Amino acid sequence: MAQAQRGIQKKQHINELLKELVRKATHLCAAFTPTLFRVAFVPTFVLLSLVLAAYCASETLRRKGVTVPVISAFTAACSRKRDENQFVFGPVTLACGVLLAALLFQPLSARVGIYALAFGDGLASLAGKCFGTIRIPFVPQKTVAGSTACFAAIFISVFAATGVSLTALLAAAAGTVLELIPLKDFDNVLLPVAVAALHQFLL
């Protein structure tokens, strides 16, 4: 019986890890948007807005029992336990974070904010799931491994974008602290906007 229970738990863990890989692959895809914005800002902004609208419509239909090909399967792959029978907000807040950063800030600052979201937040959760054994005091849902990965990913990506180590250090520190705030999916909005605002202030 105990062995069967362990087998079930292992399968559940693998399933959760696979879902986390899909979610974070989506985060990482956001890293391509600054280049697309630089090449064709308006078409990229409009296309991303249309994708967001299509996703929202699909989620509304899904909750009414109507399956939309591809999008509903993507939603199922991204959903967490807390999302069961709920509107899955993760992709919505991710797109909103990218759009707001691109709309409100200068291109380089927007790039920095979007990279913080794509790489920092994207890799933090994955590292926490895979290697997170030590929990952070007062924030038990966060791990040392996740926060370390977040800091390193933001520092490297921002330094690659700006070439300024102090800017990368400050962005990484700010992004790591913000990622610790238990905002569920809404950190997808706060993180890129706040880090982009910090970078623009430092310019």
CA distance 186 to 188: 5
Task: Identify which of 116, 178, 187, 181 has the alpha carbon closest to the alpha carbon of residue 152.
Answer: 116
Would you give the DSSP letter of residue 29?
H
Task: Identify which of 191, 173, 184 has the alpha carbon closest to the alpha carbon of residue 98.
Answer: 191
The percent helix, strand, coil of the chain (3-state, each to 5) is: 80, 5, 15
pLDDT band at 179 (very low <50, low <70, confident <90, very high): confident
Would you give the DSSP letter of residue 69?
T
- For 24, other C-beta atoms within 10 Å of its C-beta total 21
Instruction: Give tens-digit pLDDT for 145-170.
Output: 888 999 999 999 999 999 999 999 99
Task: Identify which of 120, 26, 129, 14 has the alpha carbon closest to the alpha carbon of residue 75.
Answer: 26
Instruction: Give tens-digit pLDDT for 25-78.
Output: 888 889 999 999 999 999 999 999 999 999 899 888 888 878 877 777 777 766
Q: What percent of the chain has pLDDT over 90?
A: 48
